[in-house]
């Protein structure tokens, strides 16, 4: 048994050592440091959005001990991610782990660099699930919960497997009372959007809605139980230009049924911005069709 424990202990220490060069300190708020991960060797750093209380005066503590200025490339509060840039081109990104080898019960390490050196805490994957949406509407590609203790300054740092490979980025702001990890697929998608636009583009219709039950005849016709009652329409908005008005019930968007606000948010991803999207709504008991040209949310 002692040999097994010794081997496990050595493997954990090796994993931390291998990941060390891809972990940085982020100085974006008063008093408390946070953590970031090297995303690209040319100086791109990913961290948690909530650890940045300002847009300028940012600094990064590099693994070699050097402290350098950083500029903000962009933020996405809805996924709690921010992308920074430092003047460096020889950084070492973390190697991505194989997500297919990750299962509930697997050992993982949460790493942080709130000070000059890397700190670590050990835990397990406690839950894995399908993609989910945050309370601000951000799309997370996979539900990943751990039982690791998120010490102060660990937000924005990596979750790594026993080989020191990147599993995701830890955040204490997404789950109430739970340690949540943003998977690498989400990191890549959001980082690309922030680098291209400075933000994640999301579509905007200009309506407020409320979920309602449909009459029995429409349930049978549309093969869905609910729709979204339009309770307000902003002047000169995409919805107004498409003819939607107060009292209409939106039942379909982009050829998909919408039965909740989350359904609509999921269909307003950045790739629909600037396009004419087919929609169906109920008015006076009849189903009508229209097209809504989606614009980017400002």
Q: What does each of the 298 residues of the chain score in pLDDT, given as a tens digit? A: 668 889 989 999 999 999 999 999 999 998 889 999 999 999 999 999 999 999 999 999 999 999 999 999 999 998 999 999 999 888 999 999 988 888 999 999 999 999 999 999 999 999 999 998 888 778 899 999 999 988 999 999 999 999 999 999 999 999 877 789 999 999 999 999 999 989 888 888 999 999 999 999 999 999 999 999 999 999 999 999 999 999 999 999 999 999 998 889 878 876 788 999 999 999 999 999 999 999 987 6
Measured CA to CA in angstroms, residue 100 lies from 97, 141, 197 at distances of: 9, 14, 31
Domain boundary among 200, 225, 252: 200
CATH number, domain with residue 169: 2.40.10.120
Is residue 55 part of the annotated active site? The answer reads no
Three-state SS for 258? coil
Domain termination residue (choose one: 200, 219, 236): 200
> Cβ-count burial of 10 within 10 angstroms (0-12 exposed, 13-18 middle, 19+ buried)?
exposed
Same domain, 210 and 115: no
- Whether 80 sits among the annotated catalytic residues: the reply is yes
Residue from 78, 155, 172, 179 carrying the catalytic annotation: 155
Specify the pLDDT at position 137. 77
Question: Under 8 Å CB-to-CB from 73, ≥6 apart: which residues?
Answer: 44, 83, 84, 85, 194, 195, 198
Catalytic residue among 50, 76, 141, 248: 50
Structural domain harbouring 267 = 203-296
Say whether both 231 and 106 belong to one domain: no
> What φ, ψ does residue 193 adopt, rounded to 5°?
-65, -40
Single out the catalytic residue among 76, 80, 248, 263.
Answer: 80
Q: Is 179 in the same domain as 230?
A: no
- Enumerate residues 6+ apart whose C-beta is below 8 A from 250: 207, 209, 227, 228, 230, 244, 258, 264, 279, 280, 281
Which of the 8 DSSP states describes residue 206?
-
Q: Are residues 176 and 242 in the same domain?
A: no
pTM, rounded to two decimals: 0.81
Same domain for 235 and 125, yes or no, is no
- Is 155 catalytic? The answer is yes
Domain boundary among 174, 200, 226: 200
In contact, 266 and 256? CB cutoff 8 Å: no
When divided into structural domains, the chain yields a total of 2
Question: How far apart, in whole angstroms, are the C-alpha atoms of residue 270 and residue 194?
Answer: 12
DSSP annotation of 96? B
Same domain, 213 and 270: yes
Write out the H or E segment, with its range, that includes residue 3.
helix 2-19
218 neighbors 197 (Cβ within 8 angstroms)? no
Residue 114 and residue 74 share a domain: yes
The Cα angle at residue 78 between residues 77 and 83, in degrees rounded to 5: 45
Q: How far is CA 100 from the centre of its chain?
A: 20
H or E stretch at 81: strand 81-86
Collapsing DSSP to helix, strand or coil, 186 comes out as helix
Distance CA 41, CA 54 (A): 25
């Amino acid at each position: 048994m002692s040999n097994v424990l010794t081997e496990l202990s050595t493997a954990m220490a090796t994993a931390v050592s291998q990941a060390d060069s891809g972990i940085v300190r982020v100085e974006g708020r008063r008093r408390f440091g946070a953590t970031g991960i090297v995303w690209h060797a040319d100086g791109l750093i990913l961290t948690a959005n909530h650890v940045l209380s300002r847009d300028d005066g940012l600094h990064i503590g590099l693994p070699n001990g050097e402290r350098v200025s950083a500029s903000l490339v962009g933020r996405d509060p809805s996924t709690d991610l921010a992308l920074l840039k430092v003047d460096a081109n020889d950084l070492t990104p973390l190697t991505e782990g194989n997500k297919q080898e990750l299962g509930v019960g697997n050992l993982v390490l949460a790493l942080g660099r709130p000070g000059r050196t890397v700190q670590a805490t050990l835990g397990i994957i406690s839950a894995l699930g399908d993609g989910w949406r945050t309370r601000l509407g951000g799309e997370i590609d996979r539900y990943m919960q751990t039982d690791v203790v998120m010490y102060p300054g660990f937000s924005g740092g990596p979750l790594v497997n026993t080989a020191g490979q990147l599993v995701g980025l830890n955040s204490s702001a997404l789950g109430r009372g739970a340690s949540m990890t943003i998977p690498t697929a989400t990191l890549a998608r959001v980082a690309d959007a922030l680098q291209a636009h400075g933000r994640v583009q999301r579509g905007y219709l200009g309506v407020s809605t409320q979920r309602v039950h449909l009459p029995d005849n429409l349930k049978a016709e549309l093969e869905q139980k609910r729709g979204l009652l339009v309770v307000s329409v902003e002047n000169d908005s995409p919805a107004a230009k498409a003819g939607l008005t107060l009292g209409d019930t939106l039942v379909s968007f982009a050829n998909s049924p919408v039965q909740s606000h989350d359904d609509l948010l999921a269909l307003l991803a950045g790739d629909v911005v600037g396009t004419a999207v087919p929609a169906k709504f109920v008015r006076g008991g009849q189903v009508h069709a229209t097209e809504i040209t989606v614009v980017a949310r400002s």
